[in-house]
């Protein structure tokens, strides 16, 4: 297939929807099709055509990782790679054109986000191979575990008390969150400004604080760690956050918190729990020890200066 790829000069909602309509006419439905209100600001759109009709679209938008300087790739609302060779060629052409534009604009790189949730809990090796050929590396890893047969705590609690996260004040939770992330292990959080850091935390809490598996660990009256959990659906829960103060690590606090959170999810009817973590993060050893397995990539990252294959 001969392909032509170009940046859409006008990335207004009207222009984008005109391309999506053209794609549907060619039998290439991108689902879910975004609504006007859902299109991000600072949008860039790249269109692939057979040098006549549109056959693919790729969106770039400053959003989740805006402070890192990397546009977030929405993959036209269709983030699972199609299986046929033509579709792979279209994705390749779009990604290469977007990468060239990013270099010209002196941005840092490109993030490709794959969907979370039950539909993508099986790791797709085809996606790994495809993105690696283009110079992308997996940055975040999705992990999952069934909630039957939970292990018993290997250590006594001592003075550790587990309570609902809502038992702590928002100020306590935020101080704990800020201290737990101060070492900069999580790149997304390390690159946020103070205002962005607080806004991100507030968003997490708004969506999770009332969940039965959102728990806080206290040593005496001191908050030393907490979890935040949300439900994907009636049978799947997601660990949105677990953090323990650096000076309290190594005594089993994270293990106790996560085991109790998993048990609470099971009591609510969840059959599995998922989470995502940076590749190489120290918490991966905890997740491995409790039976979580890698189950799909959340994000692939390409940085300016990395090689990209045609």
Q: Give residue 39's pLDDT.
A: 59
- pLDDT tens string 37-86: 555 555 778 888 888 788 877 777 654 333 223 333 334 333 344 456 67
**Cβ contact 238:276 at 8 Å:** no
Q: Can you name the residues that pair with 230 across neighbouring β-strands?
A: 238
User: Mean pLDDT highest for which of 131-140, 176-185, 237-246?
Assistant: 237-246
Secondary structure string (H, E, C) spanning 256-269: HHHHHHHHHHHHCC
Checking if the pLDDT of 232 tops 70, the result is yes
**Mean pLDDT of all residues in the chain?**
77
In CATH terms, is domain 4-113 a member of 3.40.630?
yes
CB atoms within 10 A of CB 284: 16
Of 99 and 219, more confident: 219
Of 236, 243, 182, residue with least CA distance to 217 = 243
Sorted by where each begins, the domain ranges of the chain are 4-113, 160-296
* Percentage of the chain exceeding pLDDT 90: 26
β-strand 160-164 against 293-303: which pairing, if any? unpaired
Q: Mean pLDDT across the stretch 177-192?
A: 77
- Per-residue pLDDT band at 253 (split at 50, 70, 90): very high
Among 1-5, 30-34, 258-262, the minimum mean pLDDT is found in 30-34
Of 292, 297, 258, 286, residue with least CA distance to 145 = 292
- pLDDT tens string 151-183: 876 667 778 999 999 999 999 999 999 998 887
Checking if the pLDDT of 117 tops 80, the result is no
- pLDDT tens string 275-303: 888 766 777 788 988 999 877 656 777 77
Same CATH fold, 160-296 and 4-113?
A: yes
Q: Give residue 109's pLDDT.
A: 78
- Per-residue pLDDT band at 126 (split at 50, 70, 90): low
Checking if the pLDDT of 34 tops 70, the result is no
Of 235 and 25, more confident: 235
Q: Give residue 80's pLDDT.
A: 43
Among 59-63, 108-112, 208-212, the minimum mean pLDDT is found in 59-63
Q: Give residue 306's pLDDT.
A: 66
Q: Give residue 176's pLDDT.
A: 92
Q: Mean pLDDT across the stretch 96-112?
A: 82
168 torsion bin: left (phi>0), alpha (psi -120 to 50), beta (else): beta
Q: Give residue 75's pLDDT.
A: 40
- Per-residue pLDDT band at 310 (split at 50, 70, 90): very low
**Cβ contact 223:216 at 8 Å:** yes
pTM over 0.85: no
CATH number, domain 160-296, options 3.40.50.11720, 3.40.630.30, 3.90.1150.180, 1.10.10.10? 3.40.630.30
């Amino acid at each position: 297939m001969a392909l032509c790829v170009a940046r859409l000069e006008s990335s207004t909602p009207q222009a984008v929807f005109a391309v999506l309509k053209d794609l549907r006419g060619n039998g290439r439905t991108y689902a879910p099709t975004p609504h006007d209100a859902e299109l991000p600001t600072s949008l860039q759109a790249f269109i692939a055509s057979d040098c006549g009709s549109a056959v693919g679209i790729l969106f770039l938008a400053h959003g989740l990782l805006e402070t890192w300087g990397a546009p977030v790739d929405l993959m036209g609302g269709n983030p699972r790679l199609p299986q046929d060779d033509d579709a792979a060629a279209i994705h390749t052409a779009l990604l290469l054109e977007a990468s060239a534009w990013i270099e010209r604009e002196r941005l840092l790189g490109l993030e490709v986000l794959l969907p979370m949730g039950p539909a993508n809990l099986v790791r797709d090796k085809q996606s790994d191979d495809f993105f690696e050929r283009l110079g992308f590396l997996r940055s975040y890893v999705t992990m999952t575990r069934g909630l039957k047969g939970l292990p018993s705590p290997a250590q006594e609690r001592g003075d550790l008390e587990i309570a609902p996260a809502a038992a702590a004040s928002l100020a306590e939770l935020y101080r704990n969150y800020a201290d737990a992330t101060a070492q900069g292990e999580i790149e997304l959080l390390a690159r946020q400004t103070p205002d962005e850091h607080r806004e991100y935390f507030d968003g997490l809490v708004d969506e999770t604080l009332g969940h039965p598996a959102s728990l806080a660990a206290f040593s005496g009256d001191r908050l030393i760690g907490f979890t935040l959990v949300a439900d994907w659906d009636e049978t799947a829960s997601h660990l949105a956050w677990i953090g323990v103060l650096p000076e309290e690590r190594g005594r089993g606090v994270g293990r106790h918190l996560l085991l109790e959170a998993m048990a609470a999810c099971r009591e609510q009817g969840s059959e599995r729990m998922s989470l995502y973590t940076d590749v190489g993060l120290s918490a991966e050893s905890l997740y491995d020890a409790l039976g979580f397995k890698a189950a799909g990539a959340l994000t692939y990252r390409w940085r300016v200066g990395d090689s990209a294959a045609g």
